[in-house]
Structure 1
Amino acid sequence: MSAAPGLAQHAARPTARPRDLLIVDDHPIVLQGFRLLAEEAGIARVHEARDIVAAYRTFHRHRPAVVVTDLSFRDDGLSGLSLIRRIRALEPGARILALSMHRDPVIVARVLECGALGFVLKDAPAASFLDALEAVANGRSYLPHDIAIEIAMLNAGARDLPLANLTSREMQILVLIGKGKSYDEIAEILTLNYRSVVNATAALLCNLCVGSTAELMRIAASQARSLP
């Protein structure tokens, strides 16, 4: 993400800034870029984590004012959703901004469902990231305008879009199936027991109106390919 010409202008706004921030991403270059943006925005302390386990521990220890987290971590599917849920369970008032290269409105809707206040695309201009950070830090929601419209349209026609009716947990399991993960691996990644994964997969077969695991794999693989 490149720094936008208007960065200084945003940093000078007389609005509340978070005193500290946790950034979660498994790419060092991305972490460095967001750290620089946060520091330019006047944030005194920036914590970093490269996986959801380290992120949860860091949040538990430091309780930063805002969490900025990616959704996808290597082969763990949408494990960022689990992190958002766990942080909100620990701290119901936590202010979380999700970021991703993935702009599917179904996924973004699940991000909000899990408790994030905002969402921003990784390839957005620096000024957009700062706008999103400012909004979330002040307890306001933030969505790119076009994605907000897509989510509204999605909600209006949800009955005709099976994926839109899946829960965030079902979406995570679907993506992991598409990545070739076994039930045991999915259970470990999502901290579930084996039977819960089996039952959720059966529910997916029913909800997506498919008659075989092979058909579910095809849908899952298609969904997985759309993720970064």
Structure 2
Amino acid sequence: MSGSVLIIDDHPVVLQGCRIVLEDAGLSIHVATSVEEGYQTFYRHRPGLVVADLTFQACGLTGLSLIRRIRDLEPATRILVFSMHDDPVIVARALECGAIGYLLKDTPSIDFATAVNRVQAGEPYIDHHLATKVAVLQNSQHLNPLSSLSGRELQILALLSLGKSYETIAEDLDLSYKTVANACSTMRRRLGFTSLAELIRFAVTHSDHMH
């Protein structure tokens, strides 16, 4: 397990703040500002710890795919999500994709350092309030329509809400057109919609939970 850490975030202020805290902890730092750059940097350096956001520019929740790809490549990698999203559906999906820690961006720097230390040691770290919300969600999933969707479906829905076509979504998420079309059909059936327009309207209505 490498003693270095990779920070993946497209906000310069966040990158700088994380770098200062982690350098003070004696860690070697790599940074990336996009999903593809993040994966390529990880592939080259294989850091033991990754601190990653979930959303990048206008690409919805592409960080979920990145987490899954990193874990597929190196299952022992410890991943801490550092995000503004406090929706328990998104938190649960990030943990399912392979993150072992989840921290909100309005957290004090001392808590960020604690989370990094815990995750680096292989211990789960999630704010108690968030953990409670996730537990409540899992006990009452039927109450939240988003909770029935997989991480990939949430990503596709997020991009639909931005007005992106199937072709563009397929390209953004490195999927086939058929996979995207089938996923949208599945979501329509599961959510009880009869048309793509209804699904898109739902995506736009719930976009605050996905961007």
TM-score using structure 1 length: 0.89
For residues 209 and 129 of structure 1, the distance between their equivalents in structure 2, rounded to whole angstroms, comes to 41
For residues 81 and 227 of structure 1, the distance between their equivalents in structure 2, rounded to whole angstroms, comes to 11
The percentage of counterpart residues that share the same residue type is 49
Residue 35 of structure 1 corresponds to 19
Contact 1:176–1:224 (Cα < 8 Å) also in 2? no
Residue 165 of structure 2 corresponds to 182
Structure 1 unaligned residues grouped into runs of 5+ = 1-17
- Compute the displacement of 1:184 (Å): 0.5
Residue 57 of structure 2 corresponds to 74
For residues 152 and 19 of structure 2, the distance between their equivalents in structure 1, rounded to whole angstroms, comes to 30
Partner of residue 129 from structure 1, selected from 88, 99, 112: 112
- Compute the displacement of 1:127 (Å): 1.3
Larger radius of gyration: 1
Contact 1:65–1:137 (Cα < 8 Å) also in 2? yes
Partner of residue 91 from structure 1, selected from 46, 67, 74: 74
Residue 163 of structure 1 corresponds to 146
Q: Secondary structure at the match of 2:206?
A: helix
- Compute the displacement of 1:149 (Å): 0.3
Contact 2:92–2:134 (Cα < 8 Å) also in 1? yes
Residue 217 of structure 1 corresponds to 200
For residues 40 and 168 of structure 2, the distance between their equivalents in structure 1, rounded to whole angstroms, comes to 22
The range that moved more, 213-222 or 90-99, is: 213-222
Structure 2 unaligned residues grouped into runs of 5+ = none
TM-score using structure 2 length: 0.96
| Structure 2 residue 19 is the aligned partner of structure 1 residue 20 | no
- Compute the displacement of 1:160 (Å): 3.0
RMSD: 1.4
- Compute the displacement of 1:213 (Å): 1.9
